[in-house]
Structure 1
Amino acid sequence: MKELAQVGIRLRAARTGRGWTLDRLARASGISASTISRLESGKRQASLELLLPLTRELGIAVDDLLVLQTPDPRVCRPGWRTEDMVVQPLSEERSPVNAFRITYAERPRQEQLHTHPGYEWFYVASGRLRLQLGDEELILGRGEAAEFDTLIPHNLSAAGPGEAEIISLFSEEGVAPHTAAEGADQ
């Protein structure tokens, strides 16, 4: 078991970190110094019967001696397609900040603007993006970024020629309107 591989090393680090000798820990725990030495060197298999008195005396938890497996940090969420955009999530659903790669299709300027609670930030990775924000129309190129309160009427689309790809971050309340079409055309 990988979880037990580092027990001895961590036990020794806890003991020496307190400035304790093998004999001092042996007297305090009631476990012989030779047994503790074999645990620390990996020559003896760790058991709860041995670890509980040792960790109690050292003031640590048994879990502190175990190497806990870290979860896979890669984001593996499926994307989705709508009529005018392709969305690929770049963060876990439970993440406090919601990140997406969004590719917008080229289309004419839209008359209908949207509002919703939240905040949005985006970076144009490729193409030219049309940001209609209130009464303004801004064209942003590759390498440009923008941020705005989504209560301001807005719409985003590729300004052409071709598609525009952005990396977008939404506050928690701002992500729902953008993910409502999730699964629409997977």
Structure 2
Amino acid sequence: MSAFDKVAAPAPDSGRARRVPRRLLGLTAASAAVGGGAWWWLRSTGAAAVRPVKVMAEDPMGADTIAGYQAVCSSQSPSPGVLSKPSTVWLRHWFRDDAVAQEDLMSELVDYAVEHGWAGGEYSLPGAWESSRQDQRLDDSLNLLISLVDDVDPADALHGTVRVSLTYR
């Protein structure tokens, strides 16, 4: 046997040598998958996560008291879970003052919104005012709708109120 044949012939333990890179590759792939999953979980639900409900509650239009008027009713969407599909998150407050006409109350709430950085959007009607703005902490815009509630039964507690609704999609 020549020297060339000895070099070209596979070593008896070469199967073991080939398994090490495969194991290393498998461990690297598994580590990347686990690490990536942990990063996604911490980013989306952990301490570093930005929750739209928190951003809405910190907004002046998400407060229980706006322009000196106390909300008579409040409602909030449930926070989406870790594995749930993305959904619309909302925060709503209804305001009423028997000493002020409903239209005047709505006008005061709109003025308060404009003073706090909200600007009138393209879709504004006499009974509804809409605006949206970007928050640095969120991926998409936050929407504000201020509207008269006159489409419910007059005996309903919400009849004659002004609804302030913040939504995030």
Q: TM-score range by the shorter chain?
A: under 0.3
Larger Rg: 2
TM-score, length basis structure 2: 0.22
TM-score, length basis structure 1: 0.21
